[in-house]
């Protein structure tokens, strides 16, 4: 799997963390771009001091004891609009932005391409590759809804950070895994990060 992974400054660092953890278990390469706001939110939510994308990845690797032999993470700078992933001449299977802020939703929809997340998303859409955006905001105003509808119509998939509760999550990590699995399913992979719905379960309980 060859992916672009953007992380924007919405609440929900656990979703990115669990997605990175799961990615580490499969073969492939991920081009990782993190916004300054994403780092700030990550620090707040994970009670840590990470100051760069590299430190964030190290934090996740250390927390879960990940062996990154399988999966290569290549860090790209948020402001480097001349990076390899700013051009459609480079290939990647899909791009995921998790979590995705309303600001990044708005700028991708407006085609502003000022940051590398925005530019890579713009390229992903123009090359007709899957773009999966995982927004987190509540409630939505009309601008949010309009931007998400327009992005949907432009070919993106809006996969809200709305974990289901029917698999009886016991932790934040379970919620993160639910959303991660939904992303992987759209990418054509099944990692079975949470138990499948079993309609006979209630009668067994």
104 is in an annotated binding site: yes
Q: Which is nearer to ligand FMN, 9 or 130 (CB)?
A: 9
Cβ 132 to ligand FMN, closest distance in Å?
16
Nearer to ligand FMN, 44 or 190 (CB): 44
List C-alpha distances in Å: 8 to 31, 100, 101, 167: 14, 5, 6, 27
Q: CB of residue 149 vs ligand FMN: minimum separation in angstroms? A: 16
Indicate the burial class of 103 (C-beta count within 10 angstroms; 0-12, 13-18, 19 or more).
middle
- Cα–Cα separations (whole angstroms), residue 146 to 3, 102, 150: 27, 11, 6
Asked whether residue 140 is marked as a ligand-binding residue, the answer is no
Q: Which residue has the tokens 């993160």?
A: 176
The binding site for ligand FMN (CB under 6 A) comprises: 8-11, 35, 37-38, 40-41, 44, 101-104, 136-137
Whether 103 has a binding-site annotation, put simply, is: yes
DSSP 45: H
Nearer to ligand FMN, 10 or 66 (CB): 10
- The response to whether 182 counts as a known ligand-binding position is yes
Q: Rounded to whole angstroms, how far apart are CA atoms 6 and 100?
A: 8
Residues flagged as binding site for dimethylallyl phosphate: 166, 182
């Amino acid at each position: 799997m060859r992916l672009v992974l953007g992380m924007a400054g919405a609440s929900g660092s656990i979703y990115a963390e669990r997605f990175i953890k799961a990615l580490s278990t499969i073969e492939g390469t991920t081009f990782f771009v993190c916004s300054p706001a994403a780092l700030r939110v990550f620090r707040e939510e994970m009670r840590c001091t990470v100051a760069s994308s590299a430190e964030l990845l190290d934090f996740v690797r250390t927390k879960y004891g990940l062996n990154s032999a399988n999966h290569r993470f290549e860090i790209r700078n948020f402001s480097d609009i001349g990076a390899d992933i700013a051009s459609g001449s480079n290939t990647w299977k899909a791009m995921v932005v998790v979590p995705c802020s309303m600001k990044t939703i708005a700028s991708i929809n407006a085609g502003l391409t000022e940051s590398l997340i925005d530019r890579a998303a713009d390229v992903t859409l123009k090359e007709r590759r899957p773009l999966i955006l995982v927004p987190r905001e509540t409630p939505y105003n009309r601008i949010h809804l309009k931007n998400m509808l327009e992005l949907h119509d432009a070919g993106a998939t809006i996969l809200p950070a709305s974990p289901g509760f029917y698999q009886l999550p016991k932790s934040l990590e379970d919620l993160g895994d639910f959303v991660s699995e939904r992303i992987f399913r759209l990418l054509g992979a099944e990692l079975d990060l949470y138990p499948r719905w079993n309609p006979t379960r209630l009668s067994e309980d």
